[in-house]
Each structure stands twice: as C-alpha cells, then as structure tokens.
C-alpha cells in the first residue's frame, strides 16, 4: 500500500507504532537505503521515501512517498487497526481506547466514535490527516 506524504519518515514511524510494524530494512547486501540508492543510480533523496513492514510478514508493506500537495478531501479508503479482534467486551474496548490514546500522543487526532450494530470504532486522523479506525 502506498501513501502520499509531506514527511514520509514521520508518517512511517506513526504507522509502525499503530500497526506494530518496523522500518523496512535495506535489501540484502546493503547496509543502508542510501547505499542501495547510490548503487541503483536513484537520485531521489532518502527523505522522499520511507517504508514499514510487518515483522511477521503477515501484513502488507506500507510505502510513504513525498508529494508536494497536501491532503484535500476525505479518504476514499482507510485502514482499520484491529485491537479487539471482534471482541465486544468492556476489556477489549478498553484496549482499543488505550491504543487510540497512544496514537493521539504520537500525533493522531481523535475525530469521533461510532457504535453501530456492526461494531464500535474510534475514528482518528493520522499526523497528515488520513482517517482510520481503531476497533
């Protein structure tokens, strides 16, 4: 999955926290992304791109690319960060609230809470305004 970003490294760090991901290591044989870029003749700055991956390799890689324009409209797609795994108990909801609080401390903005027959969700915006849910 690829995200447009004003500051790719900051957004990658935020989403690593949100999902329990880690920074994507450079390809085998390279000690850094800078070294890889130089070897490949890539002229973009390493500040223009960042990526995080699931350490268990179960989830998708998230790639963040610097773009000059900011977000101007509601997302047409969003991620659900599942903390409760469908458990509707008060303990599970407490875990979701705690995770949302950690994400707000890391730069997210709390938007609203939904409580519908399909389930509860805390709707947040990441540091660059992309909406997502914690369930």
Q: Is the pLDDT of residue 97 over 90?
A: yes
Distances in Å between the Cα of 47 and the Cα atoms of 5, 55, 71, 126 are 11, 22, 19, 19
Distance, CA of 8 to CA of 50 (rounded, Å): 5
Residue 71 falls inside a structural domain: no
Domain that holds residue 113: 80-134
Residue 22 falls inside a structural domain: yes
* Lookup result for tokens 């870029």: 37
82, exposed or middle or buried, with CB in 10 Å at 0-12, 13-18, 19+? Answer: middle
pLDDT for residue 57: 94
Per-residue model confidence as pLDDT tens digits over 8-55 = 999 999 999 999 999 999 889 999 888 888 888 877 677 888 999 999
**Does one domain contain both 56 and 84?**
no
Give the CATH number for residue 121: 3.10.180.10
Compute the average pLDDT of residues 97-116: 96
Per-residue model confidence as pLDDT tens digits over 70-81 = 888 888 889 999
* Lookup result for tokens 């500040």: 47
**Does one domain contain both 6 and 61?**
yes
Q: Is the pLDDT of residue 60 over 90?
A: yes
**Does one domain contain both 53 and 93?**
no
pLDDT for residue 32: 85
**Does one domain contain both 52 and 97?**
no
How many structural domains does the chain have? 2
Distance, CA of 100 to CA of 83 (rounded, Å): 10
Which range has the worst mean pLDDT, 13-27, 30-44, 93-107, 111-125?
A: 30-44
pLDDT for residue 36: 84
**Does one domain contain both 38 and 86?**
no
What whole-number percentage of the chain has pLDDT above 90? 66
Question: What pTM, to 2 d.p., does this model score?
Answer: 0.88
């Amino acid at each position: 999955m690829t995200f447009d970003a004003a500051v790719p490294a900051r957004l990658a760090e935020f989403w690593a926290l949100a999902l329990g991901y880690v920074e994507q290591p450079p390809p085998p044989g390279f000690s850094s992304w800078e070294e890889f870029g130089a070897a490949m003749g890539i002229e973009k700055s390493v500040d223009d791109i960042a990526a995080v991956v699931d350490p268990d390799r179960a989830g998708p890689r998230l790639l963040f690319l610097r773009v000059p324009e900011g977000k101007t409209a509601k997302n047409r797609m969003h991620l659900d960060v599942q903390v409760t795994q469908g458990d509707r108990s008060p303990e599970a909801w407490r875990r979701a609230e705690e995770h949302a609080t950690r994400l707000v401390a890391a730069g997210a903005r709390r938007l609203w809470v939904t409580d519908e027959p399909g389930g509860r969700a805390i709707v947040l915006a990441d540091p660059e305004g992309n909406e997502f849910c914690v369930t």
